[in-house]
Amino acid sequence: MHSKSTYGTIAVKTAVLLIAALLLFAPLLFQDVRALEVAARICIFIVLVASYD
């Protein structure tokens, strides 16, 4: 039987992979320049937050 922390870890990893996939395919999904700029800013903030770990 899995503990709650294992389910939480799986949920977080799934969410991160989903967000990364959406950001990876953002140029193909969104043709608007503004949407691409927002996706780029999100990537920058993710790297910035990850660097503090």
Predicted local confidence at residue 14, as pLDDT: 86
C-alpha to C-alpha distances, 42 to 3, 21, 22, nearest whole angstrom: 32, 13, 11
Mean pLDDT of 11-36: 83
Contact 17, 26 (CB under 8 A): no
13 has pLDDT over 60? yes
Average pLDDT, the chain: 81
19 has pLDDT over 70? yes
Whether the full predicted model's pTM is greater than 0.85, yes or no, is no
